Amino acid sequence: MSSMVIVVAALVAIGWLAFLVANGMRGRSQDAVAPNLSLYKTDDELENRRLDRVLGVAVILSAFLAVSLPVYYLGERNRQASFEVEFEDVAIERGQYHVAEFACAGCHGEGLVGGVASYVDARSGVAVSWAAPSLNDIFLRYDRDEVRFWLVYGRANSPMPAWGAAGNGPMNDAQIEETLDYLESIQVGQADAVARADAQITAAIAGLETADASVTSSIQAQEELITFYDNAPPNRDLVKQYTELAERVLEAPDEGVDANNNGVDDLAEWEASYKIDTDEDGLADRAEEELTQIFQAAQDSGYAPFSALAVAFDPRNPDSTGLDNDNVVAHSKLGEMKQQLVTLDVAVDNLDRLRGQAAEGLAFLQAAADKSLYSFDLQAIADATFGGDVDKATRAVGIYQGLCARCHTSGYSEGPAFAQEAGAGSLGPALWDGRPNVQFLTADDMKKFLSEGSQLGVGYGVNGIGRGYMPAFGMVLSEADLDLVIQYLRGEVLR
């Protein structure tokens, strides 16, 4: 609106000037004597209604400018603000694009609410599911500089890759900022973050009871892997045999090749044998019968991934399975067979190395199960620290396991069987042996630190130097929970 006013005012002013100049020029060409040498008009002639009119117009124009400038000024501030919002919107949109392009949700979960990353543990070679934290509440735990740091450099020895150029990642500085803008735009409120932390604690408490079972099932999976390698050579031959049979029926041989040397080329033989297609699904009737037998036999072979391979094609029904056209179904079954063949080929070609690795992984898991460092004696913790109150001890251990262990217990994220003793330290310092009592002279000092987290270059406690790695928990944990976990960590028994 205000820019319209300015444009109109400028047009009026230009018109007025043009009028004056044109008038002056017209008058001059008629003068015989130079104006400064001739007598000009008298006062009476000059001070007429015309002068009043000219002055009047001038006053109106001045008044107009006097009003329109402040109006423009006021509008300008809004205009600037709306530009900023526009830039911000564009940045957020771009950030959203980066988050999609670099598949953050693949690990951090759809909507970045937290998820899991598949990871092969470096020490044991065992495949594990590593929890990836929620990002839509991360600004309650870290400030923008700290989040940028994790984004740019990733987190070494974890599935979190580096994304910034400085960490040899794919994003430039602007893309990192846009990603941060997007993350900021999707933050949930504090109440949601508190509820989520509570759910993590509850899950961790449940995890205390299922730790044994979870290790047992890891061991079982590892044993199955070893069996898979042991049986890979015979299975490869078996799968190859059925794959070739199905392939021979489904895929036309090359023209001109006569593999069996009978004087008729293979394509001609293939066409002759599979010609009739009464249900017109693209599969000849005889082919349907043969494929039914081949898929059934493959399933009967007992190779586990073929357990759902059998299908009964009916040469009078183009959609025997009720799902797809028979031809499509047959090709997808053949596809499954070929995929298995590739897997087995890789296994057989690298058999010694892969089987050796799997065996080492199994030994690692069994040793971990024997030591069972992942188990907690809640009664002992309760007796030592909580005056015998097992509920308090359980909650405290749940808080530690759910929110702290991933950085303060080495191996925690690789699964219970990998865990070192609670508080052994990894990204964060060791917290066992009463260390927190040495670092923080009082529980209050410690609470302040846990609430605010660490800051780059800022000292904490007696001799701590912050790097900004330790998240702030003041916004996501209640006073009572903070007190519990502090009491637990300042106690003598951690497990």
Applying CB under 6 A, which residues contact ligand HEC?
Answer: 99, 102-104, 106-108, 117, 130, 132-133, 135, 138, 141, 147, 150-151, 155, 158-160, 163, 179, 403-404, 406-408, 413, 427-429, 431, 435-436, 439, 446, 450, 454, 461, 464, 466-471, 473, 485, 489
Q: How near is the Cβ of 474 to ligand HEC at its closest, in Å?
A: 10
- Of the pair 45, 101, the CB lying nearest ligand HEC is at 101
- Of the pair 75, 466, the CB lying nearest ligand HEC is at 466
Distance CA 48, CA 371 (A): 112
Kindly tell me the burial class for residue 137, based on how many C-beta atoms sit within 10 Å of its own C-beta (0-12, 13-18, 19 or more): buried
CB 320 within 8 A of CB 326: yes
Q: How near is the Cβ of 163 to ligand HEC at its closest, in Å?
A: 5
Q: How near is the Cβ of 404 to ligand HEC at its closest, in Å?
A: 3
Distance CA 319, CA 329 (A): 9
CB 152 within 8 A of CB 163: yes
Distance CA 333, CA 311 (A): 9
Q: How near is the Cβ of 481 to ligand HEC at its closest, in Å?
A: 8
CB 425 within 8 A of CB 411: no
Q: How near is the Cβ of 91 to ligand HEC at its closest, in Å?
A: 15
Distance CA 10, CA 69 (A): 12
- Of the pair 282, 461, the CB lying nearest ligand HEC is at 461
CB 116 within 8 A of CB 129: yes
- Of the pair 249, 450, the CB lying nearest ligand HEC is at 450
- Of the pair 240, 435, the CB lying nearest ligand HEC is at 435
Distance CA 495, CA 400 (A): 11
CB 100 within 8 A of CB 93: no
- Of the pair 292, 394, the CB lying nearest ligand HEC is at 394
Reading the block at residue 142, the tokens are 């870290």
Q: How near is the Cβ of 146 to ligand HEC at its closest, in Å?
A: 8
